[in-house]
Chains A and B, each alone.
Chain A
Amino acid sequence: MTAVASTGTAAAAASLADTASARRRAADLAFRVLLFLALAFALVVLVTLLVDVFVEGRPRLNRDLITNMPSARPARAGIQSAIWGSLWVVGVSAVASLPLGIGTAVFLEEFAPKGKWYVRLIEVNIQNLAGVPSVVYGILGLAFIARGPLGWGFTIGSAAAVLTIMVLPVIIISSREAIRAVPPSLRDGSLSLGATKWQTVWRQVLPAAVPGIATGSILAVSRALGESAPLLLLGALTFVTFNPDGLDSGYTVLPLLIFKYASDAKAEFHVVAAAAIVVLLVMLVALNMTAILIRNKFEKRRA
């Protein structure tokens, strides 16, 4: 009797467990399907865009595209001056923003007195600046750099200055994260062996933080490469048939030349625009791959 009863209870318990686990498995499956759909959606959109652009730009994806200057005649229109314009602007802003940004991050993480009101004020400001729409930097640049006090005009110099200001907060924040992720034991070890604060930062903390700093910085720089809104205000929407030859040179950049070609009345220009988009994408992918390579290289080395 008791045996029967106990068997019954066990069976009931087992079936209860069965339905519970079946429900859990169903939930698990549903969640997986959901995640897969999310991924599929992102991929389908991306692949559609890429294929569309590639197919449309295919006829103009050749050497002439890169070696020819922009032209008012679609048949010989190229993008050379825009490629050099983009490289100049992004190159100069990278050279200016990396030391400044990483330096600021090191100061805030390693040297600034923790918890002081002015340090917190700076930190909050930097975080807010990272969220400011890029066109606002363009307006700032127009008022204070291109015109106004500095009066640099619509040149490579003003464009690079504005992009520098724009990417600085991103570089500072990502570099700070990277520096903060360095284990304290590394600092303590170095300090306890008699190294100065500066030696510790330079020889231990920074090298350990390179993968994070490099990734964040390169992503920030590639954002600058694709940027168009602030440069629109700084005179980059310009028909330029010469390569920049200095900081005071007139210029155009790839995203805006693409915009110019894509909005032209002549349909042949739209093909050039599509081909130019492919070139811009290749440049962006190359930059992002550099970031990944640097990260892999240095993470492996440390491990």
Chain B
Amino acid sequence: MARRSRAPWRLLASTLALTLVLAACGGDDDDGGSASEDTGGGGEELSGTIRVDGSSTVTPLISLAAEDFQNENPGVQVPVGTSGTGGGFEKFCNGETDISMASRPIKDEETQACEGNGIEPLELIVANDGLSVVVNPENDWAECLTVEQLKKVWEPGSTINNWNQIDPSFPDQALTLYGAGSDSGTFDYFTEAIVGEEGATRTDYNPSEDDNVTVQGVSGDKGAMGYFGLSYLLENEGSVKGVEIDGGNGCVAPTVETVQSGEYTPLSRPLFVYTKPEAAQRPEVKAFLEFYLENQETITEEALFVPLTEEQLATAREELAAIEGA
């Protein structure tokens, strides 16, 4: 019995050892994917970890940049989290990240929280984004909506539940609403731009952090209205239809051009990343931000955002250069 009894322990031990060995092997593989264009990057090998977190709207942009940048610089690790703009700033101001992605400018109280921890947030524009108000493709009445009409639909306490309440010329069709969940930058932006106060909205709609849920909801219901980023409209053209918006100067369709020119008001906005001097002075962080600006046109287009204009790009480059000097 005593002799036999050792065997189980050997087996347990070897199971544990195997787990460890398997785990330890993980570090050896670091072949990422296939090639990417060769830009920037001098001779010296960059290394280090660039921690990024923040807006899920900006994530696709920075993920693409991170992926290509890491292929060129295998020594650098760029984990990109998605805690939302507010969650990202919380980590950033806590000193836990180097770059914070934001779909809106930083708020005063967030700046104060950062400064309380000795962190100076520095803003860089990375892309333009447009919010689109979408309806079902079979909806042939709502070609253009005014901001005033949208406000009546979405403001807190609104009781509008039929299209003919928005405009008497619209048919008698029940209205169902889809929109962003309250944690997203899209929600903050839409409520501020349409209702006039950030976070103010009626509550009897179908909220989701996942814009895809809105696409499915709106495409399946003739009387539905929803809102999300222009990229989702472009990706799902056919299942949903974008509505023209009249912000006071006539109806403007949600397109790349109108967003870039700023004509599409009030639902177009710039997107940002925030960094801090201590981070931006690190060679790998600086190289990453330069890499982004260098490739912003292909990255924004691949991620279905609207690229920076020449002017915006020049300003961003100046700001980045100014940080280096600091």
Contacts and interface: CB of A to CB of B under 8 A. Distances in A.
B159 interface: no
A97 B8 CA distance: 18
A243 B26 contact: yes
A143 to B, nearest CB: 12
Interface stretch (A68-76, A106-114, A133-141): A68-76
B146 interface: no
Contacts of B94: 147
B232 interface: yes
B33 A68 contact: yes
25 contacts: A72-B60, A72-B63, A72-B64, A72-B67, A72-B302, A84-B29, A87-B22, A91-B19, A91-B20, A92-B23, A95-B19, A204-B1, A207-B4, A207-B5, A207-B6, A210-B8, A235-B53, A237-B81, A239-B79, A245-B27, A249-B77, A250-B49, A260-B82, A264-B212, A290-B15
A228 interface: no
B51 A250 contact: yes
B33 A69 contact: yes
Given A214-B12, A239-B59, 7 more contacts: A69-B32, A72-B302, A98-B12, A154-B51, A206-B9, A207-B5, A239-B66
A159 interface: no
Interface string B142-160: 0000000000000000000
A251 B81 CA distance: 10
B2 interface: yes
Contact of B33 (A71, A98, A251): A71
Interface of B: 1-2, 4-9, 11-12, 15-16, 19-20, 22-23, 26-34, 49, 51, 53, 59-60, 63-64, 66-67, 70, 77-83, 94, 96, 209-212, 215, 231-232, 235-236, 302-303
A76 B33 contact: yes
Contacts of B82: 237-239, 260
Interface of A: 67-69, 71-73, 76, 80, 84, 87-88, 90-92, 94-95, 98, 147, 153-154, 203-204, 206-207, 210, 214, 235, 237-246, 249-252, 260, 263-266, 290, 294, 298, 301
Most buried by B among A94, A239, A244, A251: A239
B100 to A, nearest CB: 14
B235 A95 contact: no
A88 B15 contact: no
Contacts of A204: 1, 5
Given A154-B81, A237-B82, A242-B77, A71 B5 contact: no
A242 B70 CA distance: 9
A263 B77 contact: no
A294 B33 CA distance: 39
B36 to A, nearest CB: 10
A241 B66 contact: yes
A239 B67 CA distance: 9
A91 B96 contact: no
A250 B77 contact: yes
